Amino acid sequence: MSAISRIVVAGSGPVAWLTAAALLRAFRQPTPDVLVVDTGDSRDARVGRWLLPSQRGMHALLGIAEPHFMQRTGATFKLATEHNGWQGTGSQFLHAHGDIGIEFRGLPFYKFLQSENLAGRAARPESFSVAGSAARLGKFARPAASADQLTSSFTYSFHCDEAAYADYLRAHAVRLGARAAPAALADVSLNDAGAIEALRLADGSPVTADLFVDCSGPEARLIGRVSRAAREDWSAWLPCDCMWSARSPAPRDTSAVTRTFAADAGWFWRAPLAQSTMVGHVFSSRFQDAAAARETLQAFEPALRGEPTLTRFAAGRRRSVWERNCVAIGASAVELEPLAGADLHLAQIGIATLVELFPRDRRSAIEAAEYNRLMAEYADALRDFTFAHYHIGAARPGEFWSSIRAQALPANLAARLDLYGASGRINLLDHESFEETDWAWLFLGTGFPADSLELQTRLQLAQLAPQEVTALRTHIQRLVQSMPSHGDFLRHQAAATPRASQ
């Protein structure tokens, strides 16, 4: 067994409890001692968030029953994100959690849509996607394996209330054996080697451990002390650094969809919860002050319930997220605006990578080096995916947008756009979260042009009969028509879920 048996997780939000729970599930017999130290005021103020489908895998690993989790957190399903106005007023595209069409003789179906675009015919990927079509029609059903390949051609994730989700994960982690420290973090002391010697709690008691995991959010209260390495600043590409978020009373749009709306200094969003709607305004304080941004949110959604809360972040990542006996997971490591909904996903990768590389003893320099290498690749790829939404397509007017367009692209993104632009090809990096299909949704949705197709693809497409394409679309329509509405699905699930006491 590892000599690392006492682990302290510092943090108050979902990332901290997710980390604590996951470490307890990963290491059993003997179970490590996992102590969670509250970092108090660093708790994220956002009202809620949307997640990526990978969260379902994490829930399964933690033994979280989905209907129970959804009931406790007022969660709804998410099949897609709808982006409005990013490529100019009136523009709209969908990014659904699922395949586009069915693989045709080894060829991904989106290649057909590329060829339609090249021929000057508009082709919307959602017409060929179960998740996309269901999202458009406000429908929902879980994917299921069946003789019909299409019924398992998609996946889904969730919208949930931030505080309720944090509380839920906390309760779950405690059930799994995580202990909450008796008092919040007061300060951190280092030893001569620069590693963490101990934490001191607000009640004066010291806390020692073999490994410290910093989930304290942007304040990075542990890793910020241990690591002297500079942070990489992404604000030139991603200038948004604030978010107002609030709730509005009625669930007025119950589609399983997150909607975003490009604005003058950022973007608005709206997402459903079971009993209400969440709205937010993500903006750059360089281009709009907080008071004005709040007013524009009010104009976007007049019927707000309660006071909007302000969350601040600074896009970028720490160059060294594991140093000595301290590993940073979550916003203490990487800060990224919520567009891709990938915060917890990245935290999850951080946890899984930590488990894979879990050190045997306190000499962990090589593990740290590998961890830092991998996490940098994942984080940079997520930055690129997020930034591509701003960069691609016709520019919106205004200083905010033109400042973004003036930036040189990160090298990997430039290479990706070049290759796609020349040939419609999408190559993935060794370590990145979004897949070929996700990039296809983005490229096709934004109308990013591919000037040509691979010759080989063209020859294969010549064998695809128009009737097959029509049949596919009809089949998807029929399948989606037979699904219940998202609202009905939620009500039915809630009625069938016992209100278990904790």
Partner 1 sequence: MSAPIRIVIVGGGTAGWMTAAAFASVFGSAHRNIRLIESSEIGIVGVGEATLPHIRFFNRRIGIDERELMAKTQATFKLGIEFRDWARLGDSYIHPFGAYGSRIGGIGFHHYWLRRHLAGDTTNIAEYSLPIVAARENRFALPSEDPTDVMSTFGYAFQFDASLYAAYLRGFAETRGVQRTDGKIVDVALRGADGAVESLKLDSGEVVTGDLFIDCSGFRGLLIEQSLKTGYEEWTRWLPCDRAMAVPCENSGPLTPYTRATAREAGWQWRIPLQHRMGNGYVYSSGFISDDEAAAKLVSRLDGKALATPRPLRFTAGRRRKTWNRNVVAIGLAGGFLEPLESTSIHLIQVAITTLIDYLTERAMMQPGGFDTRTVDAYNRWMEMEYDRVRDFLILHYHATEREDTPLWNYCRNMPIPDSLAHKMELFRARASVVTYKDGLFLEPSWLAVYFGQRVMPVGYDVRVDSIPDAQVAAQLAQVRERTSDAVARMPTHEEFLRIYCPAAPVAASGARA
In whole angstroms, the minimum distance from the beta carbon of 354 to partner 1 comes to 12
Q: Which listed residue (452, 485, 493, 497) binds partner 1 by CB under 8 A?
A: 452
Q: Which listed residue (65, 429, 471, 494) binds partner 1 by CB under 8 A?
A: 429
**Cα-flanking dihedrals φ and ψ of residue 484, to 5°?**
-70, 165
Q: Which listed residue (146, 456, 467, 482) binds partner 1 by CB under 8 A?
A: 456
Distance between CA 437 and CA 440 in Å, rounded?
Answer: 5
Select from 167-175, 276-284, 354-362, 390-398 the region that touches partner 1 (CB under 8 A). 354-362
Beta carbon nearer to partner 1, 175 or 360: 360
Q: Are 215 and 36 in contact (CB under 8 A)?
A: no
Q: Are 127 and 476 in contact (CB under 8 A)?
A: yes
Q: Are 321 and 333 in contact (CB under 8 A)?
A: yes
User: Count residues contacting partner 1 (CB under 8 A)?
Assistant: 39
Distance between CA 218 and CA 220 in Å, rounded?
Answer: 5
Given the structure tokens 């933690």, which residue do they identify?
62
Q: Is residue 419 within the footprint of partner 1 (CB under 8 A)?
A: yes
Select from 137-145, 164-172, 340-348, 353-361 the region that touches partner 1 (CB under 8 A). 353-361
Q: What is the CA radius of gyration of the chain?
A: 23
**Which residues in the 430-449 window bind partner 1 by CB under 8 A?**
430-431
Beta carbon nearer to partner 1, 210 or 488: 210
Q: Is residue 423 within the footprint of partner 1 (CB under 8 A)?
A: yes
Q: Are 83 and 445 in contact (CB under 8 A)?
A: yes
Q: Is residue 203 within the footprint of partner 1 (CB under 8 A)?
A: no
Select from 264-272, 305-313, 435-443, 451-459 the region that touches partner 1 (CB under 8 A). 451-459
In whole angstroms, the minimum distance from the beta carbon of 228 to partner 1 comes to 22
Select from 24-32, 238-246, 311-319, 338-346 the region that touches partner 1 (CB under 8 A). 24-32
Q: Is residue 60 within the footprint of partner 1 (CB under 8 A)?
A: no
Instruction: Report how far apart, in Å, the C-alpha atoms of 391 and of each of 89, 489, 498 are.
Output: 15, 37, 47
Q: How many CB atoms sit inside 10 A of residue 70's CB?
A: 20
CA atoms within a 13 Å half-sphere pointing along the CA-CB vector of 211: 31
Contacts 24+ apart (CB under 8 A), 482-488: 483/134, 483/139, 483/140, 483/141, 484/139, 484/140, 484/141, 485/138, 485/139, 485/140, 485/254, 486/76, 486/77, 486/138, 486/139, 486/140, 486/254, 486/255, 486/256, 486/272, 487/138, 487/251, 487/254
Q: Which listed residue (451, 470, 478, 481) binds partner 1 by CB under 8 A?
A: 451
Over the window 26 to 55, marking each residue x when it contacts partner 1 by CB under 8 A and - when it does not, the resulting string is xxxxx-------------------------
Distance between CA 50 and CA 59 in Å, rounded?
Answer: 15
In whole angstroms, the minimum distance from the beta carbon of 468 to partner 1 comes to 21
Q: Is residue 463 within the footprint of partner 1 (CB under 8 A)?
A: no
Q: Is residue 428 within the footprint of partner 1 (CB under 8 A)?
A: yes
Q: Which listed residue (455, 465, 495, 496) binds partner 1 by CB under 8 A?
A: 455
In whole angstroms, the minimum distance from the beta carbon of 112 to partner 1 comes to 15
Q: Is residue 323 within the footprint of partner 1 (CB under 8 A)?
A: no
Distance between CA 174 and CA 36 in Å, rounded?
Answer: 10
**Which residues in the 356-415 window bind partner 1 by CB under 8 A?**
356-360, 366-367, 369-370, 373, 415
Distance between CA 141 and CA 98 in Å, rounded?
Answer: 13
Beta carbon nearer to partner 1, 300 or 358: 358
Q: Which listed residue (37, 262, 453, 483) binds partner 1 by CB under 8 A?
A: 453
Q: Helix, strand or coil for residue 423?
A: helix
In whole angstroms, the minimum distance from the beta carbon of 352 to partner 1 comes to 10
Binding residues vs partner 1 (CB under 8 A) = 1-2, 4, 26-30, 355-360, 366-367, 369-370, 373, 415, 418-419, 421-423, 425, 427-431, 451-456, 458-459
